[in-house]
Structure 1
Amino acid sequence: MAKEGITHTFAIQELTLPIALDGRDLIGQARTGMGKTLGFGVPLLDRVFDSADVEELDGTPRALVVVPTRELAQQVGDDLIRTAAETPVRVTTIYGGHPFEDQVQALARGVDVVVGTPGRLLDLYQRGNLKLDRVAILVLDEADEMLDLGFFPDIEKILEALTHSHQTMLFSATMPGPVLTLARTFMTQPVHIRAEDVGASQTHATTKQVIFQAHRMDKPAVTARILQATGRGKTIIFSRTKRTAAELADDLAARGFSVAAVHGDLGQGARETSLNAFRSGKVDILVATDVAARGIDIDDVTHVINYQTPDDPMTYVHRIGRTGRAGHSGTAVTLVGYDEINKWKLINDEIGLDTPEPPQWFSTSPELFEALDIPEGAQEQVGPARKVIGGARDRARSPRSGGRGEGRSRGRRRH
């Protein structure tokens, strides 16, 4: 880990490591971006490699990490692979949108730790390709997001398959009732750890929040000005719908910005291309829908823009949690449409932001330029038109994936 520049623990890691290494069940609660992955990843790998109560490695899984989205599966899998680089522990990542055959072959070759999304994991288990009878450690990561995406029935079936004694760790940013019920049902006297004060804000203290009303027709121009703010680096722009994400990405690219898009109309390959371009810095703007962007774990995002007001308070928290991560400062901007003000008031009241009536600003308003440190003279056009990564051509060529993988849109279940 020192080779990766990781030499100090975050609060959630410091609190969970001793308990997790001891093999006890635990619930870890901390806001997104505060180090939960290594909070469970380090003790998981250590126990799989060298714990007396975990059977010797024989090519069948000893640990299972369940996450809500493909993108988070990739992030967690990559983190565990890097952390286990000096050990013989084999880590495989499994999610929908990729051929079954490749994943079946990977399991057949032998694997010690499996990271995956609920639907594809359950499919492979029911087909007999994924063996769960030797799993000694189970991790449910981002449990509240799995609840929101409607995966709890699949989660319960996976949990019911683990009839033998094992350690369970559940990590989540929030703890709604159904998540606590799941914990009580399937965990043994778990220790509940909160890596923050009980009354702490649900958003990062290092994140500056700027909220104002913007006319729907003026939002593209407003966004173009925001993207010229002093010190702006990697930026994620959230929209509610796939159509808005695609249209906004095209609009910004036409204005000369370097843009990638991630939304449900893209196949898995195109989504990975867009995310990799954003991670590597090939583009510095990612336009995304909520579901497509869940699990994007990039520490150097300086700005998040809510192009459309989120549907609920937790979506707002998760969106702006993409910036101000791991001690970095960040800026979260929310453009409240004139028809979205009632939706905003509910978010404001729930989170306690003290901005029930955001001011009305336009793309030419001095207040906008001052609040976000936008240079005078910033124009709507910044250069020649560019191509969107994840644009129309990628949408046209996107293949449909088979199986129950997370490539298809699922209905949002309310519990």
Structure 2
Amino acid sequence: MADIVESFSELKLNKQIQNAISEAGYEKPTPIQQSAIPLITAGHDIMGIAQTGTGKTAAFVLPLLMKLKYAQGTDPRALILAPTRELAIQIHENVKKYATYLDIRHTSIYGGSGTKVQIESFANGIDLLIATPGRFMELYRRRVFGTKLIKTLIIDEADKMMDMGFMPQIRQILEIIPVKRQNLLFSATMSDFVIKLSEEFLEFPEKVEVTPQASTVDTIDQTLYEVPNFKTKINMLDHLLSNEDFSRVIIFVKTKTNADNIFKFIDRKITKSVKVIHGNKAQNTRLNSIDSFKNGDTRILVATDVAARGLDVSLVSHVINFDVPLIYEDYVHRIGRTGRANNKGIAITFSNKAELYHIEKIEKLIGRKIEAQKTPADVKIEKTPFEEQQTMLRELDYLRKKDDPEYKGAFHEKKHKKPPHKKKRSR
């Protein structure tokens, strides 16, 4: 849209929705909301490229609520698909907030918890359904709901959906819902998989891109520390978390084992105000940990990338990447947990020798350098154990060979070096 929209009233939302978003503290539409809401209201298919923290959930939920108007029938008339249970829950929380004064029935269904309560939520009919693909298909096959009335399909975090391998389930869903419908697809990045998905189910879409692909929010200060090994990363973490300015912190790690070990270290050495979430944790445990962090009862949350998206917490002071993510777009989503709603945020990344390879790729993706700083003088630099050193070298070899098949590798000379020539003994 060419004109700047100063208020939600200019977007022609009804009075009930305006009252709800006003009570939620929304003052002025964000750029994605300004651009997407009029197009969605007009019935266009949308391809939305928007990074996390830009207000995209409201951008598609508000016009959807306008379209649904009031409770009608028993089966869902709109479907929002999300890649993770955390994101499905977050979207549902926002729907509850925006629909406070509307007579619209809504629920969310997702894996990782029992089906009994979720099935019961359909008892009085549903207008809007938020779901992860697997649980949607499970309950559909059990005839909990029908799909013939679905007139709007929204796929959120499409890039994550593709990373997690949901394409087969999405194709199944597309086969069982009406062909004639409005389609909205939102993604932080425009990967080849997302383009393929958009070509399969969007018809002449309007593209809404409020920021360059995979860009990071300007309110986030990004810092890089080159840290040689795991033990030194732990020392670095100890140093940073002793600073009270680190008031609400998310620490992202690659593996469940690292998450548990770092949680135990913080709990034992730094503070009891810490929780950990990853795929092996029960659903209720994860939700309770997230709620405790949201409410300010917990200062530090240690998480794998299961929580990198769909974790909507205001005033996160710092994000620490203990491990560099291997899916480069996840860097954007991780650090997007801070610096939300125009607040300042700080993102700190630890990188060992092998991870610097990924840092270069991430910098290329986000179109900027991550400022490198020297390790503080009072942080003890530990000697890298031989096994960890070998693991890093092998990883670097593997990555460089992927880029250059002719690359021989750090171990090449050792493996192929001929033994010294022995002189024949004279008889």
TM, length-normalised to structure 1: 0.82
Whether 2:272 is the aligned partner of 1:252: answer no
Q: Is the 8 A contact 2:220 2:345 kept in 1?
A: yes
Q: Which moved more, 1:311-320 or 1:6-15?
A: 311-320
Corresponding position of 1:241: 255
- 1:121-132 paired onto structure 2 within 5 Å: 121-132=136-147
Corresponding position of 2:41: 21
Whether 2:374 is the aligned partner of 1:354: answer no
- 1:160-171 paired onto structure 2 within 5 Å: 160-171=175-186
Corresponding position of 1:379: none
Q: Is the 8 A contact 1:239 1:306 kept in 2?
A: yes
- 1:74-223 paired onto structure 2 within 5 Å: 74-196=89-211, 198=212, 202-214=215-227, 215-223=229-237
Q: Determine which structure has more spread, i.e. the larger CA radius of gyration.
A: 2
Corresponding position of 1:12: 32
User: Which of residues 65, 85, 92 in structure 2 aligns to 1:45?
Assistant: 65
Structure 1 CA distance for aligned equivalents of residues 111 and 95 of structure 2: 20
Give the 3-state SS of the residue equivalent to 1:43 in structure 2. Answer: helix
Q: Give how far 1:355 is off.
A: 5.3
Q: Give how far 1:362 is off.
A: 5.2
**Pairwise CA RMSD:** 1.9
Percent of pairs with identical residues: 35
Q: Give how far 1:351 is off.
A: 3.1
Q: Is the 8 A contact 2:236 2:379 kept in 1?
A: no
Aligned-partner residue type, residue 108 of structure 1: A
Q: Is the 8 A contact 2:308 2:330 kept in 1?
A: no
Corresponding position of 2:328: 313
TM, length-normalised to structure 2: 0.80
Structure 1 CA distance for aligned equivalents of residues 199 and 257 of structure 2: 40
Q: Is the 8 A contact 1:96 1:120 kept in 2?
A: yes
Change (3 A) 1:279 1:363: farther
Corresponding position of 2:23: 3
Q: Which moved more, 1:70-79 or 1:97-106?
A: 97-106
Give the length in aligned residue pairs: 358
Change (3 A) 1:292 1:363: farther
Aligned-partner residue type, residue 248 of structure 2: K
Q: Is the 8 A contact 1:301 1:323 kept in 2?
A: yes
Change (3 A) 1:349 1:26: closer
Corresponding position of 1:263: 278
Structure 1 CA distance for aligned equivalents of residues 325 and 368 of structure 2: 15
Q: Which ranges in structure 2 are unaligned for 5 or more consecutive residues?
A: 1-20, 381-427
Q: Give how far 1:89 is off.
A: 0.3
Q: Which ranges in structure 1 are unaligned for 5 or more consecutive residues?
A: 51-55, 367-415
Q: Give how far 1:363 is off.
A: 6.6
Change (3 A) 1:236 1:45: same
Structure 1 CA distance for aligned equivalents of residues 114 and 369 of structure 2: 48
Q: Which has the higher contact order (CA 8 A, sep 6+)?
A: 1
Give the 3-state SS of the residue equivalent to 2:54 in structure 1. Answer: coil
Give the 3-state SS of the residue equivalent to 1:169 in structure 2. Answer: strand
Q: Give how far 1:279 is off.
A: 0.7
Structure 1 CA distance for aligned equivalents of residues 203 and 370 of structure 2: 42
